[in-house]
Structure 1
Amino acid sequence: MNQVTRYSPLDDLFRGFFVKPMDFPSGMPAQQIKVDVKEQPDAYLVHAELPGAKKEDIHVEIEGNQVSIRSEVKQERDVKEGERLLRSERYFGQVSRAFQLPYELDEGQSSASFKDGVLELKLAKKLAQPASKRLDIA
């Protein structure tokens, strides 16, 4: 005797949905510092996103025409009583970014400020070095 089985595409869609735990991707990508650089006649204006960073944990170094930004980003856990944390996708650790600019930078004239997770750097260009002077031979 032939047996007839009714097929529904919804059966496959929901089969095991409530039984299996949800599968999350295993590795979280490292956080990156996103940077915007604008050139002005006498300086460069840099905006760097550092969400979750504190002002005292940010370090900026200038060497010639190279700029390095480094920060420590810490995760604060707030688990309330009776709640169970299933997954946390916040990043914590150290992030850094380095880049070169076309002109040498003047560290003494440069400035930095940090507000609402955005680091703003005003990097002054070094004034042109005086042209070499030719000595007359007597």
Structure 2
Amino acid sequence: MSTLVKAPKNGSLAKTNSGSLTGTFPTWSSWIDDLFNNDLPSIFRPNFNTGLSLPMVNIIELDDAYHVEMAVPGMKKSDFHIEIDNQVLSISSEIENNEETNEDNYTRREFGYASFKRSFSLPETVEEDKIKANYVDGILKLELPKKEEAKRQPPRKINIS
């Protein structure tokens, strides 16, 4: 599971359990990412297709909100399932494609299936009731507004008495 925090230099957004007594363990999501990105010999990577594809995500923190952008071209708005459960934002999709062609002397049938699910732990500063999402030109964008008390305040001058 990933967390909406500043990403370390290695690009990973996965949160580890660094505060626990049992040590630091990778999260399930980061372990899967590592398995498919690092543990396979390079000769398998270009041709290895598991049907599991994790879209790339950009997370931007502004003074008043977080913006999440996910590149998922070729989909429709109705293909996405976005939900929040116990401060966890999940974005998922399942697409099934079946095509059959009947000609005089042959039948061609092709089918495909693709799915993904990305989950992020939301900070307590996000106003869950005001999250908005839109999908334009292959980019899914979510705006996660911050609670008023979490918004960055402009500097104020303090007078000396």
Query: Which category of TM-score, normalised to the shorter sequence, fits these structures?
Result: 0.5 to 0.7
Q: Report the Cα distance in structure 2 between the residues aligned to 1:99 and 1:116, rounded to whole angstroms.
A: 23
Is this contact kept in 2: 1:70–1:97, CA < 8 A? yes
> Which of 144, 149, 157 is the equivalent residue of 1:123?
144
Number of residue pairs matched by the alignment: 102
- Could you tell me how far 1:70 is from its partner in structure 2? 0.8
- Could you tell me how far 1:92 is from its partner in structure 2? 2.5
Aligned to 1:53, what secondary structure does the other structure show?
A: coil
**Aligned alpha-carbon RMSD (Å):** 3.3
Q: TM-score, normalised by structure 2?
A: 0.49
Q: Tell me the amino acid that sits aligned with residue 107 of structure 1.
A: E
* Greater helix proportion: 2
Larger radius of gyration: 1
> Which of 97, 109, 131 is the equivalent residue of 1:110?
131
Gaps of 5+ in 1: 1-24, 130-138
Deviation string, structure 1 residues 63-92 (Cα, Å, up to 9, x no partner): 46432101123336486969x98xx8x963
Gaps of 5+ in 2: 1-45, 151-161
Q: TM-score, normalised by structure 1?
A: 0.56
| CA shift in 2, pair 1:73/1:117, >3 Å | farther
> Which of 68, 75, 82 is the equivalent residue of 1:46?
68
Is this contact kept in 1: 2:98–2:112, CA < 8 A? no
Is this contact kept in 2: 1:52–1:73, CA < 8 A? no
* Greater strand proportion: 1
2:88: which partner in 1? 66
Determine what percentage of the aligned residue pairs are the same residue.
33
